[in-house]
Amino acid sequence: MKEKKLVTLAIETSCDETSVALVADGRDVLSNVISSQIDVHRVFGGVVPEIASRRHLENINAVLESAMGEASVAPGEIDVIGVTKGPGLVGALLVGIATAKALAFAWNKPLAGVHHIHGHICANYIAHKELEPPFMALVISGGHTSIVDVTGYNECRVIGKTRDDAAGEAFDKVARVLGLPYPGGPAIDEAAKSGDPNAVMFKRVFLEKGSFDFSFSGTKTGVMNYLNSEKQAGRTTVTADVAASFQLAILEVVVSKALNAAKLMKKDKLALAGGVAANSLLRKMLGEECAKAGIRLFCPPPALCTDNAAMIGCAAHYKFTAGGKDSLALDAWADLEL
């Protein structure tokens, strides 16, 4: 008889996506329902925390019902409830955590709280069934930019991270000054396709020799200063050229550091994760550099790069099968080290 698969119900509400997924054996997605609030926040040019929490509260039950229905899974078939415990917006996280705790209590199921970034890394296990640790991961999103040495399913070490803005945050802020719509990352990605990446030479910040940390705020400020000085001089600027030049300045640093980290730690696999991993130029540049270095590159499809509950289900699966669980006292953490 075939062994029953371990089914995880997972909830993600750390920022502006309300998502519930059902995942079998960590890697098989039975359903992954995502309700995006992007349209609600667009008018404000960024995520408004109070509105995000309220929207999660309004949406969570419907998203949960859809996910259960789409997967045709009954409560009795669920083995563990996974949820993002942080980092993220505290009010937003709390909606997911309260829902997960209520389900765990009502259905008498174990609860596993997971780190959002660990979830992003785990998106690669869903997309690439053959992927196993160890590997190097580049986690690049609106809230984080880190290079992570992944040594096991539940073991990893951050070897470099941003000292100021996350890459996605810099993309979003530059897009705003360029008058591009929110979220800025995809808008810059698109605008840059028709621009000249060598039109303006923005600063590439590599920090101290050998450091795997990042700093993007100087490059972002460089764009703002350039736009101001051109305006003051009465010159017009070409949005596509500025977008392409900014994007290249950020990505040259990111690609160089991720490759150097993989080479230094003798990793033959590099996995991309986080919302900015959907960036077309980043994928192209990393693809070319990895091929030259003999490193295999893993990229989840764009839908698994941005926030979703399936990746949280995968992370919760590996935590739970290694004996990890949380009590109903589980709390939300705005800042949480990996």
The least CB distance from residue 311 to Zn ion, in Å, is 9
Residue 321 near residue 24 (C-beta atoms within 8 A):
no
The contact pattern for ligand KG4, residues 174-213, with x = CB under 6 A and - = no contact, is: ---------xxxx--x------------------------
Q: Which is nearer to Zn ion, 202 or 318 (CB)?
A: 318
**What whole-number distance in Å separates Cα of residue 157 and Cα of residue 150?**
7
Q: Residue 213 touches which of ligand KG4, Zn ion, none (CB < 5 to 8 A by kind)?
A: none
What do you get for the CA distance between the two ends of the chain, in Å? 39
The least CB distance from residue 202 to Zn ion, in Å, is 25
**What whole-number distance in Å separates Cα of residue 178 and Cα of residue 61?**
38
The least CB distance from residue 226 to Zn ion, in Å, is 29
The least CB distance from residue 314 to Zn ion, in Å, is 14
Among 16, 149, 307, 326, binds Zn ion (CB under 5 A): 307
**What whole-number distance in Å separates Cα of residue 315 and Cα of residue 83?**
9
Kindly determine how many residues on this chain lie close enough to bind ligand KG4 according to the rule CB under 6 A. 19
Residue 135 near residue 271 (C-beta atoms within 8 A):
yes
Q: Residue 171 touches which of Zn ion, ligand KG4, none (CB < 5 to 8 A by kind)?
A: ligand KG4
Among 278, 286, 310, 332, binds ligand KG4 (CB under 6 A): 278
**What whole-number distance in Å separates Cα of residue 190 and Cα of residue 280?**
9
The contact pattern for Zn ion, residues 131-150, with x = CB under 5 A and - = no contact, is: ----------x---------
Residue 336 near residue 86 (C-beta atoms within 8 A):
yes
The single-letter DSSP state of residue 325 is: -
**What whole-number distance in Å separates Cα of residue 207 and Cα of residue 111?**
41
Q: 271 pairs with which residues across the strands?
A: 137, 298
274 closest CA partner among 147, 149, 160: 147
Kind of pairing, strands 296-298 and 269-273? Answer: parallel
Assess 274 for contact with ligand KG4 (CB under 6 A): yes
Stretch that binds ligand KG4, among 72-80, 124-132, 149-157, 275-283 (CB under 6 A): 275-283
Kindly determine how many residues on this chain lie close enough to bind Zn ion according to the rule CB under 5 A. 2
**Three-state secondary structure call for residue 57:** helix
Q: Which of residues 140-179 bind ligand KG4 (CB under 6 A)?
A: 141-143, 168, 171-172
Among 275, 299, 310, 320, binds ligand KG4 (CB under 6 A): 275
Q: Site residues (CB under 6 A) for ligand KG4?
A: 15, 141-143, 168, 171-172, 183-186, 189, 274-276, 278-279, 306-307
Q: Site residues (CB under 5 A) for Zn ion?
A: 141, 307
